[in-house]
């Protein structure tokens, strides 16, 4: 075992008891209150943890309205659980605050461009409901830097946000290249972007979609910056919940699958109220009862935000400023990875 591995192991062993204690307290409180769905209904609102501002995922416009694919998922869940997509309280969180907020019950759902990893599920007392967006980690540099590949960044400084998987992945990637970079670790995505644009680092690493969103705000225009071709790591982004409430996890997971299944079946925001469509989406009273949701939750979810394709196009794709290709986020029948399991 290398020195680095020994350090990681010691940190892991030291952290797990504390995380288990925090999770245990949250679990007891949750059980006493009758589960997350009961709490959400009691509050009359879904408390949804989102980013402090990432275009296409969760960002607030000048009028104060939140938008983005993560935001729309929160609205779909609120429509399913509470009957209205408007019954959401959005709580912006730094990366370093997102998991504590979820574990302690400050939010009911984390929908904040967060990567699904084994370490997070096995040590933080959380569960991911699925993948809302398949992404990859990338590197962004000034176009006039002359850097064409990641190898060209040897001995350079790279900006990265604190407490993100990007930090670990970048270190591992350059170690595999037998090359070194210096990390400038900053407290928030906004600070990382500001440091990069101010020239304090030669490159900025984050999810490719995040970098594309950040580039839209670049001084001098987006065309002054480019993403390098390398994919540093897989970044499956999805909503997360505490691991002490399987019924809530099931509802969150199947709201996501319902949006995907709707696109698979050609069901849209416009035709979802057709009686034949309603019957096709309804899983049955037994399932509604099992997860504690009122009948029609799938229809309400789709009607509130549209199917998955509509979510993507509006927030990230052809109808958005980002204009990202769907790529891996296409349906499985179109060469992508988006796939909804059968209901029965």
Give the pLDDT confidence of 303-322 residue by residue, as tens digits: 999 999 999 999 999 999 99
Pull the structure tokens for residue 45: 């609102």
pLDDT, tens digit, 9 for 90 and up, residues 6-49: 333 333 333 444 344 444 444 444 444 569 999 999 999 999 99
Residue 33 DSSP class: T
Split at pLDDT 50, 70, 90, the class of 280 is: confident
Give me the pLDDT at residue 131, please: 98
> 211, 234, 257: which is the final residue of a domain?
234
Q: Is residue 218 domain-shared with residue 251, that is, in the same domain?
A: no
Q: Are strands 133-142 and 225-227 parallel, antiparallel or unpaired?
A: antiparallel
Is 302:259 a contact under the CB 8 Å cutoff? yes
Q: Which helix (H) or strand (E) holds 315?
A: helix 308-315
Give me the pLDDT at residue 34, please: 62
Residue 253 sits in a domain of what CATH number? 3.40.190.10
Pull the structure tokens for residue 56: 């296409």
Give me the pLDDT at residue 19, please: 40
Above 80 in pLDDT, residue 177? yes
Give me the pLDDT at residue 85, please: 98
Is 81:251 a contact under the CB 8 Å cutoff? yes
| Residue 92 three-state SS | strand
Pull the structure tokens for residue 124: 């933080």
Half-sphere exposure of 304 (CA within 13 A, CB side): 29
Distance between CA atoms of residues 96 and 114, nearest Å: 11
Give me the pLDDT at residue 20, please: 41
Q: Is residue 103 domain-shared with residue 165, that is, in the same domain?
A: no
Average pLDDT, the chain: 89
Q: Does 142 map to a domain?
A: yes
Q: Which helix (H) or strand (E) holds 186?
A: strand 182-186
Distance between CA atoms of residues 213 and 245, nearest Å: 34
Q: Hunting for tokens 């992508």 — which residue is that? A: 336
> 208, 234, 260: which is the final residue of a domain?
234
Q: Does 180 map to a domain?
A: yes
Q: Is residue 113 domain-shared with residue 33, that is, in the same domain?
A: yes
Q: Does 191 map to a domain?
A: yes
Q: Is residue 124 domain-shared with residue 227, that is, in the same domain?
A: no
* Residue 117 burial (CB count, 10 A): 16
Q: Is residue 125 domain-shared with residue 30, that is, in the same domain?
A: yes
Pull the structure tokens for residue 221: 């225009």
- The total of structural domains in the chain comes to 2
Q: CA angle at residue 139 from 138 to 145, to 5 degrees?
A: 155
Distance between CA atoms of residues 240 and 120, nearest Å: 10
Domain that holds residue 298: 8-132+238-334
Sequence-distant (6+) residues with CB within 8 A of 221 are: none
Give me the pLDDT at residue 201, please: 97
Distance between CA atoms of residues 289 and 270, nearest Å: 27
Give me the pLDDT at residue 23, please: 42
Split at pLDDT 50, 70, 90, the class of 281 is: confident
Distance between CA atoms of residues 263 and 313, nearest Å: 12
Give me the pLDDT at residue 14, please: 39
Q: Is residue 80 domain-shared with residue 181, that is, in the same domain?
A: no
Q: Is residue 178 domain-shared with residue 290, that is, in the same domain?
A: no
Q: Does 81 map to a domain?
A: yes
Overall pTM > 0.75: yes
Above 60 in pLDDT, residue 344? yes
CA 252 to chain centre: 13
Q: Is residue 284 domain-shared with residue 254, that is, in the same domain?
A: yes
Split at pLDDT 50, 70, 90, the class of 246 is: very high
Is 140:225 a contact under the CB 8 Å cutoff? yes
188 CB-contact burial (10 Å; exposed 0-12 / middle 13-18 / buried 19+): middle
| Residue 225 three-state SS | strand
pLDDT, tens digit, 9 for 90 and up, residues 149-174: 999 999 999 999 998 999 999 999 99
Q: Is residue 146 domain-shared with residue 64, that is, in the same domain?
A: no
> 205, 234, 263: which is the final residue of a domain?
234
Give me the pLDDT at residue 1, please: 39
Above 90 in pLDDT, residue 69? yes
Give me the pLDDT at residue 283, please: 74
> Facing residues of 207 across strands?
137
Give me the pLDDT at residue 25, please: 43
Terminal CA-CA length for the chain: 47
Above 50 in pLDDT, residue 62? yes
Give me the pLDDT at residue 284, please: 76
Sequence-distant (6+) residues with CB within 8 A of 62 are: none
Q: Is residue 54 domain-shared with residue 142, that is, in the same domain?
A: no
Above 80 in pLDDT, residue 269? yes
Q: Is residue 229 domain-shared with residue 247, that is, in the same domain?
A: no
Q: Does 177 map to a domain?
A: yes
Q: Does 3 map to a domain?
A: no
Is 322:213 a contact under the CB 8 Å cutoff? yes
305 CB-contact burial (10 Å; exposed 0-12 / middle 13-18 / buried 19+): buried
Q: Does 1 map to a domain?
A: no
Q: Is residue 19 domain-shared with residue 79, that is, in the same domain?
A: yes
Q: Does 160 map to a domain?
A: yes
Give me the pLDDT at residue 24, please: 43
Above 90 in pLDDT, residue 293? no
| Higher pLDDT pick, 5 / 208 | 208
Give me the pLDDT at residue 275, please: 80
Distance between CA atoms of residues 194 and 224, nearest Å: 15
């Amino acid at each position: 075992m290398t020195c680095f591995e020994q350090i990681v192991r010691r940190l892991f062993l030291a952290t797990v008891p504390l995380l288990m204690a925090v999770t245990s307290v949250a679990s007891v409180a949750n059980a006493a209150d009758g589960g997350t769905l009961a709490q959400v209904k009691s509050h009359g609102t879904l408390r949804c943890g989102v980013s402090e501002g990432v275009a296409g995922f969760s960002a607030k416009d000048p009028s104060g309205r939140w938008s983005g694919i993560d935001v729309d998922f929160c609205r779909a869940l609120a429509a399913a659980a509470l009957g209205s997509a408007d019954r959401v309280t959005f709580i912006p969180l730094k990366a370093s605050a997102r998991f504590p907020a979820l574990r302690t019950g400050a939010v009911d759902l984390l929908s904040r461009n967060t990567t699904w990893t084994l370490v997070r599920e096995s040590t933080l007392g959380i569960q991911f409901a699925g993948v809302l967006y398949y992404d990859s980690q990338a590197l962004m540099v000034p176009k006039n830097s002359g850097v064409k590949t990641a190898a060209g960044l040897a001995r350079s400084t790279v900006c990265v946000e604190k407490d993100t998987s990007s930090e670990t992945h970048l270190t591992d990637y350059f170690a595999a290249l037998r090359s070194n970079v210096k990390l400038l670790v900053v407290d928030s995505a906004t600070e990382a972007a500001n440091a990069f644009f101010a020239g304090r680092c030669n490159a900025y690493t984050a999810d490719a979609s995040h970098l594309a969103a950040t580039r839209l705000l670049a001084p001098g225009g987006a065309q002054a910056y480019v993403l390098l071709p390398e994919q540093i790591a897989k970044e499956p982004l999805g909503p997360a919940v505490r691991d002490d409430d399987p019924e809530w996890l099931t509802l969150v997971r199947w709201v996501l699958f319902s949006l995907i299944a709707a696109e698979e079946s050609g069901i849209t925001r416009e035709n979802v109220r057709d009686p034949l469509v309603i019957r096709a989406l309804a899983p049955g009273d037994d399932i509604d009862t099992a997860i504690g949701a009122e009948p029609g939750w799938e229809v309400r979810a789709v009607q509130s935000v549209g199917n998955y394709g509509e979510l993507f196009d509006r927030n990230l794709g052809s109808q958005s400023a980002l204009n990202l290709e769907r790529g891996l986020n296409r349906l499985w029948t179109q060469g992508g990875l988006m796939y909804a399991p059968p209901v029965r």
